[in-house]
């Protein structure tokens, strides 16, 4: 038990006086200065947690948006009682607590802030200046309110409340946290395979892989925090010795990773594929046109370094790889309306292939991260039939009922749901975790801008501390959260975020596999079907993707180069990405991957043409019909020529391979079934039956030879008639002779 220092009467009176000042502040005549934002106060820095006697070490940035110089400032620091629930924490942060049992005021008389300028103020007083903390015997979250005044305390300019996490003694049983870290970005490679400049004239992926870029920085930070650590702190070791309250110690920072950082790493395969392209040399486009860059270009070398870094991370014991769909596609939507027999399996199959080839690591579809945690029974069964999704992450909306109220497994009905889950379908059983909805909302607040919002981070950390405080003695509790997949903080911000999780004394980061071994799974049921979300593109988007897929399939039957077909097919997987959802500009960009892919496929097929005369004359019953096929592509193509002619006997179709850039004559045997002119229709098709653009020809075929049977019948009939009349004439003549002799007698 930690001994408490006696509290002097003066200190109590001072605290009460500060409380009265704080409580009376809303009635001050200048409170409109806060409401209209003329003077703004922002939390710039704060330690992750505090122990006995620590300096507060708060840094606040004050910005003067008025037209007058601020001459001197004062900040009142007041703390409220420990919050006892997550809802109480949220209420305290949304509405500053009115009652603060202890407070003090720090004056900055020499600080002048000119119009439009900012200044950073530091508050280094000990936590013991706040009697509430000095007397505290239980650890947890204490709302700390900072009020900004003019130096005379007559005008309140602004205020903010931040969670101060304070532990008189270190937690003996920390809360286990499964932290998922995506490595993801919007596709940077255009449908034609080049890397175009963005609106600013720069190349996003090149910037990301620079040493100061978000991607290179994230890899470096994870390597430092998740790499081999020194001796790990024993459970229950003190945060730091308790100093005398009158001692002013320099700022102390909790050690970076006393227990190491354990994470689940989820690299998006499309991003990894683009990095691989860059590493080997790539084409980029901009105002100056198309530029070819070799493997020695800065962007290529940066991409190679990032790929090597990610590959080395996957070999660490404290980093568990997760498989995500190739383009971060929404699996239920892809399964419901995507092209192909099993679009979700296609997304995962391509993902596994890309990651294995680029990173040299076998993902094996063991641990799956569905984007947004969206998975329903139909999709899960389809994946299980493909021997995938044995371990995965769910959102609460993917499960029936309210898991946090079930009371099953390693939780209580009144506390947050902190169990692994088990979902069984007719095709198998899946184990995994449910993302905590509150933590995901806090992460969304952190990820609204590249610069780390220190107050949002502290609120996120306080949310985890509140979960710990619900059942502080349970070692089997495991909570899961995922960093926003499109948040690209600066390296320093990512370092601060991950370092905070590694250093938080009430948290123990674990890999997903470690988390599964810590608690009994709670049996849950997935919803039968997840419908479309409100921000999802309409049916026309899906139809366009399906039509483009049909074009690519027909083009692929010509047997063009595999690399071309692969690029076009993966463009359609990119169009399925949920990263395009919720924004009209992004949706149009995603749709362009389908439209441009279809346009390119049809353009390539249009390079194959059919040549034929308008009229052909057959001088015999059998003859040859001469055609020509043209291939303007730089690769050989296999085509099928089909015929339709009611008065000709001709082969239904023939298949030919036409060399690149060549004209190939085609001769087809035909037999006339009747004399005269008939119509012959010729179609140049892909082997799967699509008529190539502009390759339908109609030929007039004339036969000049009579049909032999008909001619024989005609001559036979004529001979019969001749013989008939000759014979008749002979008979008449013979009859006439006797008659003439009788008359003469």
Q: Which of 556, 582, 605 is the last residue of a domain?
A: 605
Judge contact between 415 and 377, C-beta under 8 A. Answer: no
DSSP SS3 for 392: strand
Whether residue 532 lies inside any domain: the answer is no
We report the CATH number of the domain holding residue 417 as 3.20.110.10
pLDDT recorded at residue 7: 36
We report the CATH number of the domain holding residue 153 as 2.60.40.10
Whether residue 3 lies inside any domain: the answer is no
Share of the chain above pLDDT 90, in %: 66
DSSP 644-699: E-TTEEE-SEEEEEE-TT-EEEEEEEEEESSSEEEEEEEEEE-TTSPEEEEEEEEE
Predicted confidence (pLDDT) per residue in 480-529, tens digit: 999 999 999 999 999 999 999 999 999 999 999 999 998 789 899 999 99
Regarding whether 612 and 473 lie in a shared domain, the answer is no
Regarding whether 338 and 193 lie in a shared domain, the answer is yes
Q: What residues pair up with 40 in beta bridges, in sequence order?
A: 63
Does residue 252 surpass a pLDDT of 50? Answer: no
Does residue 49 surpass a pLDDT of 90? Answer: yes
Regarding whether 108 and 61 lie in a shared domain, the answer is yes
| C-alpha dihedral (215, 219, 222, 226), degrees to nearest 10 | 160
Regarding whether 362 and 224 lie in a shared domain, the answer is yes
Q: What is the mean pLDDT of residues 469-486?
A: 93
More confident residue, 575 or 646: 575
Number of C-beta neighbours around residue 119 at 10 A: 16
pLDDT recorded at residue 254: 39
The Cα angle at residue 168 between residues 464 and 475, in degrees rounded to 5: 45
Phi-psi region of 321 (alpha: psi -120 to 50; beta: other; left: phi over 0): beta
Q: Which of 605, 634, 663 is the last residue of a domain?
A: 605
Q: Please state whether the predicted TM-score (pTM) of the whole model is above 0.95.
A: no
Judge contact between 451 and 489, C-beta under 8 A. Answer: yes
More confident residue, 665 or 32: 665
**Which pLDDT band, with edges at 50, 70 and 90, does 735 fall under?**
low
Q: What are phi and psi of 721, to 5 degrees?
A: -65, -40
Domain of residue 356, residue span: 175-231+255-524
Regarding whether 415 and 269 lie in a shared domain, the answer is yes
More confident residue, 11 or 148: 148
Regarding whether 126 and 25 lie in a shared domain, the answer is yes
Regarding whether 640 and 730 lie in a shared domain, the answer is no
Q: Which residues contact 742 (CB under 8 A, 6 or more apart)?
A: none
Whether residue 360 lies inside any domain: the answer is yes
Regarding whether 96 and 49 lie in a shared domain, the answer is yes
Whether residue 242 lies inside any domain: the answer is no
Q: Which of 88-97, 187-196, 689-698, 721-730 has the lowest mean pLDDT?
A: 721-730
pLDDT recorded at residue 279: 96
Whether residue 247 lies inside any domain: the answer is no
**CA 439 to CA 448: how far, in whole Å?**
15
Regarding whether 562 and 520 lie in a shared domain, the answer is no
Whether residue 238 lies inside any domain: the answer is no
DSSP 590-650: HHHHHHHHHHHHHHHHTTEEEE--SEEEESSSEEEEEEEEEE-SSS-EEEEEEEE-TTEEE
**CA 305 to CA 326: how far, in whole Å?**
22
Does residue 178 surpass a pLDDT of 60? Answer: yes
DSSP SS3 for 91: helix
pLDDT recorded at residue 621: 77
Q: What is the mean pLDDT of residues 691-709?
A: 76
**CA 685 to CA 690: how far, in whole Å?**
5
pLDDT recorded at residue 227: 81
Whether residue 244 lies inside any domain: the answer is no
Judge contact between 83 and 89, C-beta under 8 A. Answer: yes
Terminal CA-to-CA distance of the chain, rounded, Å?
174
Q: Which residues contact 651 (CB under 8 A, 6 or more apart)?
A: 643, 668, 669
DSSP letter at 582 equals: T
**CA 344 to CA 475: how far, in whole Å?**
37
Judge contact between 44 and 454, C-beta under 8 A. Answer: yes
**CA 111 to CA 74: how far, in whole Å?**
10
Q: What is the mean pLDDT of residues 190-209?
A: 95
Does residue 164 surpass a pLDDT of 90? Answer: yes
| C-alpha dihedral (273, 279, 280, 284), degrees to nearest 10 | 80
Does residue 745 surpass a pLDDT of 80? Answer: no
Whether residue 237 lies inside any domain: the answer is no
What's the total number of domains in the chain? 5
pLDDT recorded at residue 402: 64
Regarding whether 143 and 195 lie in a shared domain, the answer is no
Q: Which of 147, 166, 185 is the last residue of a domain?
A: 166
Regarding whether 576 and 615 lie in a shared domain, the answer is no
Regarding whether 407 and 325 lie in a shared domain, the answer is yes
| C-alpha dihedral (399, 404, 410, 413), degrees to nearest 10 | -140
Does residue 242 surpass a pLDDT of 50? Answer: no
């Amino acid at each position: 038990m930690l001994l408490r220092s006696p509290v002097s009467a003066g200190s109590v009176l001072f605290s009460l006086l500060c409380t009265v000042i704080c409580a009376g502040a809303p009635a001050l005549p200048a409170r409109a200065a806060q409401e209209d934002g003329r003077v703004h106060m922002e939390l710039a820095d704060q330690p992750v947690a505090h122990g006995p006697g620590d300096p507060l070490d708060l840094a606040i940035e004050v910005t003067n948006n008025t037209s007058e110089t601020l001459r001197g400032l004062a900040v009142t620091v007041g703390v409220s009682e420990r919050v006892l629930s997550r809802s109480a924490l949220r209420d305290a942060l949304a509405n500053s607590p009115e009652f603060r049992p202890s407070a003090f005021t720090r004056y900055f008389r020499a600080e002048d802030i000119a119009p439009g300028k900012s200044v950073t103020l530091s508050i280094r007083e000990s936590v013991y200046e706040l009697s509430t903390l000095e007397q505290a015997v239980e650890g947890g979250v204490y709302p700390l309110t900072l009020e900004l005044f003019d130096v005379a305390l007559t005008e309140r300019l602004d205020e903010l409340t931040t969670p101060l996490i304070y532990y008189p003694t270190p937690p003996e049983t920390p809360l286990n946290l499964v932290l998922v870290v995506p490595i993801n970005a919007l596709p940077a490679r255009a449908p034609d395979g080049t890397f175009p400049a963005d609106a600013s004239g720069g190349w996003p992926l090149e910037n990301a892989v620079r040493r100061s870029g978000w991607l290179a920085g994230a890899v470096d930070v994870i390597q430092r925090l998740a790499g081999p650590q020194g001796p790990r702190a024993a459970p229950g070791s003190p945060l730091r010795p308790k100093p005398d309250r009158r001692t002013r110690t320099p700022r102390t920072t909790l050690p970076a990773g006393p227990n190491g950082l354990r994470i689940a790493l989820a690299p998006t395969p499309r991003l990894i594929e683009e990095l691989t392209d860059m590493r080997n040399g790539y084409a980029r486009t901009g105002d100056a046109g198309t530029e070819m860059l070799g493997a020695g270009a800065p962007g290529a070398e940066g991409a190679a370094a990032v790929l090597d870094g990610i590959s080395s991370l996957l070999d660490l014991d404290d980093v568990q790889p997760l498989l995500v769909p190739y383009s971060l596609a929404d699996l239920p939507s892809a399964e419901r309306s995507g092209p192909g027999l099993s679009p979700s399996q296609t997304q995962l199959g391509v993902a596994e292939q890309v990651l294995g080839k680029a990173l040299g690591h076998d993902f094996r579809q063991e641990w799956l991260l569905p984007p947004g945690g969206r998975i329903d029974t139909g999709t899960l069964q389809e994946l299980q039939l493909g021997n995938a999704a044995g371990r995965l992450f769910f959102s609460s909306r993917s499960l029936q009922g309210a898991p946090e109220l079930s009371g099953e497994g390693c939780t209580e009905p009144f506390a947050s749901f902190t169990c692994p889950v088990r979902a069984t379908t007719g095709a198998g059983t899946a184990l995994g975790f449910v993302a905590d909805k509150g933590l995901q909302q806090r992460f969304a607040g952190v990820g609204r801008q590249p610069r780390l919002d220190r107050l949002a981070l502290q609120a996120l950390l306080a949310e985890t501390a509140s979960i710990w405080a619900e059942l502080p003695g349970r070692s089997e509790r495991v909570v899961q959260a995922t960093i926003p997949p499109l948040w690209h903080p600066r390296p320093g911000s990512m370092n601060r975020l991950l370092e905070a999780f590694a250093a938080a004394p009430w948290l123990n980061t674990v890999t997903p596999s470690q988390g599964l071994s810590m608690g009994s799974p709670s049996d849950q049921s997935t919803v039968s079907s997840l419908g479309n979300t409100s921000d999802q593109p309409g049916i026309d988007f899906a139809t366009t993707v399906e039509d483009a897929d049909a074009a690519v399939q027909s083009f692929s039957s010509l047997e063009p180069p595999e690399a071309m077909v692969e690029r076009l097919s993966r463009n359609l997987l990119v169009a399925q990405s949920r990263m395009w959802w919720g924004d009209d500009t992004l949706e149009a960009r995603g749709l362009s991957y389908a439209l441009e892919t279809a346009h390119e496929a049809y353009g390539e097929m249009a390079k194959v043409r059919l040549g034929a005369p308008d009229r052909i004359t057959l001088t015999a019953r059998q003859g040859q019909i001469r055609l020509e096929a043209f291939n303007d592509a730089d690769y050989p193509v296999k085509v099928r020529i089909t015929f339709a002619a009611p008065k000709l006997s001709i082969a239904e179709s023939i298949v030919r391979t036409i060399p690149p850039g060549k004209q190939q004559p085609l001769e087809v045997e035909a037999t006339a079934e009747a004399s005269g002119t008939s119509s012959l229709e010729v179609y140049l098709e892909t082997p799967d039956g699509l008529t190539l653009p502009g390759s339908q020809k109609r030929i007039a075929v004339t036969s000049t030879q009579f049909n032999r049977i008909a001619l024989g019948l005609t001559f036979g009939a004529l001979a019969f008639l001749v013989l008939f009349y000759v014979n008749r004439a002979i008979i008449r003549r013979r009859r006439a002779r006797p008659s003439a002799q009788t008359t003469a007698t």
